[in-house]
């Protein structure tokens, strides 16, 4: 059964531009709750603004930058409306991050599939306006459909069905695969730059070098992606927890326990190239009371530091009535991680990463605390010591 | 005529041989065209113009000397920020353990790509600097500051040896090397036997001094500093350029 990938790049930004068309030519960036840039327009990217930068860094890089806080509520509502529209076309509609959706299409020939996709695209344009018109890719597998959607312009359709699949995938960059940075760097060193080159490697050698994840990615590169389209109401959750005896009284102890639990859950996600968009944390206190927090993330993630930072920030602010006796964490809205990996794709082997080996050598010779990295956590505090936190330089 | 041609051919062959053995930079034919060496703009247009080549030369040692609050860290931070625009990391050798990361960020330095080295003592600082200079991934190294190193004869000799090696390594990696230093005291300027090792190895020496505070009512909103070019191997020396540094969250000022 064919799969359609319906992709609207920079969805929250497109919404903003639809509301105010004058902003199209301006350098524009949207920041999340953590005051980091989520998406930036093309003029802003050209001026040096990068997703992940703090608002202050972005403003320094581009003084004319128009920074706006992302309206996640509106973006989610619009996205829900888009999903409702797509429900008319298919029983299985799977969201994969804001602005990216998979649909299980009926069994069609190539010509019929083109007409079907065009009809879908026109319908979305009619309902949501030209600023939100999607790029649509179609194939038997999810990965190829997604690659097709990424390699066509918005407002156009790319149907890759049947024999065209392998020739289509062959010249595409290997970076499209959501492999870890180290694996991509290694592939770069080995001179493997395209999906075709990666697909042609011996499966045994790939398994030996990159493990089961590498093997799975190779199957995708060969056009064999057997993942079904999972309707959004049937997406699974992942949970884990710990009971403390004796109860935990300090934040570092609780965070260390949370890190252990999250690490187990995220490893399972990462092995399947998946990410979660919802995090739920539940603390049970010794006198029987409970405290629960839920985070809906702007983009799906499988990054441990990001989730830990959320927990740490909330638990620092929250007064504890008593020592914590149990902790339970749940990851929800699990979806494929490809969206995040593709948009914020790191360059293989950036200069900072190449320093890794040298940094560990220096650390072995001179001990800890010699090579550091700074982070400005509280820029409004008066004393420098309180504004900045120092940590070991990590790659 | 033929004799001249033979001489010319022999000379060409010798030059090719030397360049083959020691690199293309080892010997060059004289030319009327001036070659602009690789450099990084300081972010202050007037200063870039006064330096002759448009900025601070890469692969060379540059000294920024001045009293506290003369603008040397600000100037260095602006240069580091400009270096980082090319997407390469930079290193900060913090001998005094006084690096203000927040201020660096306000000057435009991306902290994710800033490696701060905090050595235990002067000797370790020099060793680590030498190790950093080997790394071609680093686009710039800021040494803060030279005056914090020991003054004993042994330590000076070690520093001199390090500088000797450093010059060669920087020429290979083309990394920008900035050294912050105290202003030269008057007695040292008068006596020729005083220790001038660093100044000897440097290609560019900029001395900064604060002129006056910029006030806005009762508030200090910045200061005006004077940059004197004491030594410049790529352009005219003994020029003075005023720059303005504002405390309005970001550091601005194009030189007046």
What is residue A270's predicted lDDT score, i.e. its pLDDT? 79
d(CA B97, CA B47): 29
In CATH, the architecture of B41-246 is 3-Layer(aba) Sandwich (3.40)
Residue B158 reports pLDDT greater than 50: yes
Between B26 and A115, the more confident residue is A115
Contacts of B113 in chain A (CB under 8 A): 352
Q: What pLDDT was estimated at residue A340?
A: 41
In sequence order, what are the beta bridge partners of B204?
A: B62, B232
Average pLDDT over residues B3-22: 84
Which tens digits make up the pLDDT trace of B183-235? 877 666 666 555 678 888 999 999 999 999 888 887 788 888 999 999 999 88
Domains and CATH numbers, chain A: 3-165 (3.40.1170.60), 170-221 (1.10.150), 236-333 (3.30.1490.100), 355-392 (no CATH)
B28, pLDDT greater than 80: no
Residue spans of the domains in chain B: they are 1-28, 41-246
- Strand B219-232 to strand B240-246: parallel, antiparallel, or no bridges (unpaired)? antiparallel
Q: Do A393 and B115 touch (CB under 8 A)?
A: yes
State the Cα–Cα distance between residues A194 and A177, nearest whole angstrom.
10
Which of A351, A363, A367 to mutate: most B Cβ within 10 Å? Answer: A351
Residues 6+ apart with CB under 8 A from A136: A4, A5, A6, A7, A117, A120, A121, A149, A152, A156, A157, A158
Place of tokens 């202003």: B183
Alpha helices for chain A (secondary structure H): 11-19, 42-46, 55-61, 72-87, 110-128, 142-150, 165-169, 181-189, 195-199, 203-221, 251-271, 304-317, 338-343, 351-354, 356-366, 384-387
Q: Using a CB-CB distance cutoff of 8 angstroms, which residues of chain B are in contact with residue A378?
A: none
Closest residue of chain B to A351, computed from CA coordinates: B137
Query: Cβ of B99 and A379 within 8 Å?
Result: no
Name which residue leads in pLDDT, A394 or B121: B121
Alpha carbons A95 and A159: distance in angstroms, whole number: 20
Under 8 Å between Cβ of A53 and A37? yes
Distance CA A287, CA A68 (A): 43
Q: How far is CA A276 from the centre of its chain?
A: 9
For B89, the closest of A351, A366, A375 (CB atoms) is A351
Strands B90-94 and B204-216: unpaired
Bigger pLDDT: B47 vs A322: B47
Averaged over successive runs of 10 residues, the pLDDT of chain A (395 residues) comes to 87 88 84 82 81 82 85 85 87 84 82 84 88 88 88 84 84 86 81 90 90 88 86 80 82 85 85 82 83 79 82 79 85 70 38 72 84 83 79 78
Q: What's the CA gap between B223 and B78, in Å, rounded?
A: 16
Distance from CA of B119 to the nearest CA of A (A): 6
Closest-CA distance of chain A to residue B89, Å: 6
Give A-chain residues touching B101 at CB under 8 angstroms.
374-376, 388, 390
Distance CA A392, CA A368 (A): 8
Q: What is the pLDDT of residue B3?
A: 77
Residue matched to tokens 């690490």: A263
From A69-78, A117-126, B15-24, B127-136, the region with the lowest mean pLDDT: B15-24
d(C-alpha A210, C-alpha B40), whole Å: 41
Q: Give A358's contacts in chain B (Cβ within 8 Å).
A: 131, 135
**Which residues of chain B make contact with A375, given a CB cutoff of 8 A?**
101, 111
Residues of A in contact with B118 (CB under 8 A): 369-372
Residue B64's pLDDT is what? 94
pTM of the full structure: 0.53
What tokens appear for B78 in the block?
């602006």
Count the Cβ atoms, other than its own, within 10 Å of residue B94.
Answer: 21
Binary contact (A369, B135; C-beta < 8 A): no
Which helix H or strand E contains B162, and what residues bound it?
helix B153-173
CB B137 within 8 A of CB B87: no
Cβ separation A379–B111 shorter than 8 A: no
**ipTM exceeding 0.85?**
no
More confident residue, A97 or B181: B181
pLDDT at B50 over 70: yes
**Smallest Cα distance from B192 to chain A, Å:** 37
């Amino acid at each position: 059964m064919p799969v359609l990938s319906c992709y609207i790049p920079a969805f929250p930004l497109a919404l903003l531009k639809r509301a105010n068309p004058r902003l199209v030519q301006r350098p524009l960036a949207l920041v999340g709750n953590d005051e980091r840039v989520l998406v930036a327009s093309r003029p802003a990217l050209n001026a040096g603004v990068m997703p992940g930068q703090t608002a202050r860094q972005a403003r320094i890089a581009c003084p004319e930058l128009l920074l706006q806080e992302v309206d996640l509520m509106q973006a989610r509502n619009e996205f829900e409306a888009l999903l409702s529209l797509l429900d008319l076309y298919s029983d299985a509609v799977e969201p994969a991050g804001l602005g990216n959706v998979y649909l299980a299409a009926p069994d069609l020939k190539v010509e019929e599939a083109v007409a079907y996709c065009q009809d879908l695209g026109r319908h979305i344009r009619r309902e949501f306006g030209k600023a939100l018109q999607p790029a649509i890719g179609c194939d038997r597998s999810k990965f190829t459909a997604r690659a097709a959607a990424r390699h066509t312009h918005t407002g156009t359709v790319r149907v890759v069905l049947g024999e065209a699949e392998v020739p289509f995938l062959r010249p595409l960059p290997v970076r499209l695969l959501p492999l870890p940075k180290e694996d991509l760097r290694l592939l770069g060193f080995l001179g493997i730059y395209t999906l075709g080159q990666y697909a042609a490697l011996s499966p045994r050698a790939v398994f030996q070098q990159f493990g089961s994840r590498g093997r799975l990615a190779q199957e995708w590169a060969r056009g064999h992606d057997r993942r079904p389209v999972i309707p959004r109401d049937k997406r699974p959750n992942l949970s884990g927890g710990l009971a403390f005896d004796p109860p935990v009284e300090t934040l570092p102890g609780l965070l260390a326990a949370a890190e252990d639990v999250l690490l187990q859950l995220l490893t399972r996600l990462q092995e399947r190239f998946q990410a979660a968009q919802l995090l739920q944390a539940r603390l049970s206190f010794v006198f029987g009371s409970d405290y629960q927090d839920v985070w809906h993330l702007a983009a799906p993630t499988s990054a441990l530091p990001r989730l830990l930072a959320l927990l740490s920030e909330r638990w620092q602010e929250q007064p504890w009535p008593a020592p914590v006796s149990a902790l339970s964490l749940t990851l929800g809205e699990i979806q494929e991680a490809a969206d995040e990996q593709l948009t914020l794709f790191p360059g293989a082997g950036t200069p900072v990463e190449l320093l890794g080996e040298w940094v560990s050598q220096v650390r072995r010779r001179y001990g800890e605390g010699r090579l550091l990295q700074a982070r400005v956590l509280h820029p409004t505090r008066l004393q420098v010591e309180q504004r900045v936190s120092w940590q070991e330089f990590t790659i | 005529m033929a004799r001249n041609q033979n001489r010319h051919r022999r000379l060409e062959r010798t030059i090719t041989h030397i360049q083959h053995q020691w690199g293309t930079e080892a010997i060059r034919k004289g030319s009327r065209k001036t070659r602009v060496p690789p450099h990084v703009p300081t972010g202050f247009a007037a200063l870039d113009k006064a330096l002759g080549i448009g900025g601070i030369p890469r692969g060379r040692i540059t000294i920024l000397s001045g009293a506290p609050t003369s603008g040397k860290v600000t100037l260095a931070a602006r240069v580091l920020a400009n270096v980082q625009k090319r997407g390469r990391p930079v290193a900060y050798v913090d001998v005094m353990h006084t690096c203000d990361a927040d201020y660096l960020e306000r000057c435009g330095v991306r902290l994710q790509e800033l490696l701060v080295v905090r050595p235990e003592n002067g000797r370790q600082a020099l060793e680590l600097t030498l190790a950093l200079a080997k790394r071609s991934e680093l686009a710039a190294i800021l040494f803060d500051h030279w005056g914090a190193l020991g003054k004993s004869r042994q330590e000076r000799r070690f520093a001199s040896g390090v500088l000797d090696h450093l010059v060669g390594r920087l020429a290979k990696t083309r990394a920008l090397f900035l050294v912050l230093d105290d202003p030269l005291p008057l007695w040292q300027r008068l006596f020729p036997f005083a220790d001038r090792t660093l100044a000897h190895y440097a290609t560019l020496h900029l001395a900064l001094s604060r002129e006056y505070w910029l006030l806005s009512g009762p508030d200090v909103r910045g200061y005006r500093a004077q940059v004197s070019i004491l030594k410049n191997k790529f352009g005219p020396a003994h020029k003075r350029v005023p720059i303005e540094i504002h405390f309005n969250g970001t550091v601005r000022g194009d030189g007046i």
